[in-house]
Amino acid sequence: MTNDFLTKWIGFWVFLFSVSVLSLPGHGGQSAIVLLFTMLYVAIVKRNNRQDFSLNKEEKIFIYLVLVWFGWQLFGVFYQPLGYEFESTKAQLRVMDDMSRWLLLLPVFFLLRRFFVDWKILAIGLSVGVLITVSVAHYEIYFLNLDRAEGMSNHTIPFAELMVVSDLLLWMLMIHAWNKGQKILSYFLLFASVVAFYGSLLSVTRGAWLAYVFMILIWLLYIVKNSLADKKHLLSKPILLRLLFAFAVFFAVSQTEQYQTLKSRTLQTVNDVSNGNYQGASSNRFNIYKDAINHIEKQPFGIGTHNFKQIDPNGYPFNAHNQLLNVWVENGIQGVISLLLLVGYAFRFFWKNLSHANESVSIYASCGLMLIVSYIIFSQSQVVLDHHQTLIFFIFYLYFFFAQIQFLKNKCD
């Protein structure tokens, strides 16, 4: 295969991943497998081009941190303290399913650092995925009379989280398209962004909306660091229309019965907080947090990967409803440190490239920051890395943005 064909082939499967991760069964797994085997083909056929396989310092550190994080999770699969053992070997193997994505998607990272994927492929793919899954969510609410939509996800919360983070990514890509003079594409991304916002409303999940505050901050940082702080960029037509449509969509939803569910949940939370009922306001998460902290004190080095339910086998919680607490309970202080180092290093990498001379590098850096900050916010009340759909979305696009920035920087050099 020629490089030109491989570039188109890889772009096609990145597009399919972007669509399917949001809207089809398997949630991108099939596309990721094709990309993995594509890298295997490249490694065999082009094995003589050793220079193309060499990693720079930033890439090596990133890969090492991924492997350390994966290693501590693997350790937690095969070692548990006395009294916390898995009930069977089958249960241990089942636990390896989700965590294996960190390792299995590394060949995709190596592939994406060698081949350019046009940003428009990513943008259109995400848009199509959003349109499909929100169409299903709309049908669930107004035709099936469900209280909360889950779209093509298997739960309302992952659906809401993915709609919010997709909205944030589409916001940045919409601005990039407008700055590139591609107005039709910019308007299409604007429409998809508004639809994603509408989808988040249909899920009646409010916590994920905090990500919008940080979206504005990252967008302003992107504008300032790239010397674009003028009326033309701050008040461009797609931005003004996006804000206008957001208010219009919210107003339209407020006229429906769906809004009453959203309103009652919000008022209940406000009343609980004002009356000092923090347990009710947190949907009983405070007791879960207390149990998690108590077990951290007893077992600071963890009780085993995906083994949280062992702290209360007959109780409701299967996780800590907080990503950091969950990792600490299951993988110990060493797991927490390795995850924080990985996410922190990726954040630092994207931050450093936010004002790069290459506009594609800077927009991918801003998207990387949006991705990380969104998941940090989601992680305050959910264990986002325990859901297949939110996990594979995070890993794939973390690898994608990191790898494509490296490709573009190498091309500039």
Is 62 a residue whose pLDDT tops 90? yes
**Phi, psi (degrees; rounded to nearest 5) at 271:** -65, -40
Amino acid at 69: W
Average pLDDT over residues 53-76: 94
Percent of the chain whose predicted confidence (pLDDT) is above 70: 83
Is 269 a residue whose pLDDT tops 70? no
User: CA nearest 31: which of 133, 93, 112, 116?
Assistant: 112
Predicted confidence at residue 148, as pLDDT, reads: 86
Six token digits for residue 143: 């035709």
User: CA nearest 311: which of 333, 285, 336, 289?
Assistant: 289
Six token digits for residue 122: 């990513």
Angle at 156 between CA 152 and CA 162, to 5 degrees: 65
- Mean pLDDT for all residues in the chain: 86
Backbone conformation region of residue 204, classed left if phi is above 0, alpha if psi is from -120 to 50, else beta: left
Is 215 a residue whose pLDDT tops 80? no
Q: How far apart are CA 333 and CA 354, in angstroms?
A: 31
Residue 51: CB atoms within 10 Å: 6
Per the model's pLDDT, the better-predicted residue between 154 and 12 turns out to be 12
Q: How far apart are CA 151 and CA 148, in angstroms?
A: 10
- Please report how the helices 156-179 and 183-202 are oriented relative to each other, as an axis angle in degrees rounded to 10: 160
- H or E stretch covering 5: helix 3-23
Predicted confidence at residue 72, as pLDDT, reads: 96
User: CA nearest 215: which of 245, 172, 185?
Assistant: 172
303 pLDDT tier (thresholds 50, 70, 90): very high
Six token digits for residue 403: 């790898």
- H or E stretch covering 159: helix 156-179
231 pLDDT tier (thresholds 50, 70, 90): low
**Contact call for residues 176 and 126 (beta carbons, < 8 A):** no
Is 242 a residue whose pLDDT tops 90? no
**Contact call for residues 88 and 103 (beta carbons, < 8 A):** no
User: CA nearest 370: which of 177, 151, 212?
Assistant: 212
As to burial, measured by CB atoms within 10 angstroms (0-12 exposed, 13-18 middle, 19+ buried), residue 340 is middle
Q: How far apart are CA 55 and CA 12, in angstroms?
A: 25
Is 280 a residue whose pLDDT tops 80? no
**Contact call for residues 331 and 302 (beta carbons, < 8 A):** yes
Average pLDDT over residues 243-271: 72
CA distances from 192 to 120, 143, 397 (A): 14, 22, 18
Q: Where are the domains of the chain?
A: 3-54+105-278+354-412
- Please report how the helices 119-142 and 3-23 are oriented relative to each other, as an axis angle in degrees rounded to 10: 20
Predicted confidence at residue 219, as pLDDT, reads: 66
**Contact call for residues 365 and 335 (beta carbons, < 8 A):** no
Rg (CA), the chain: 22
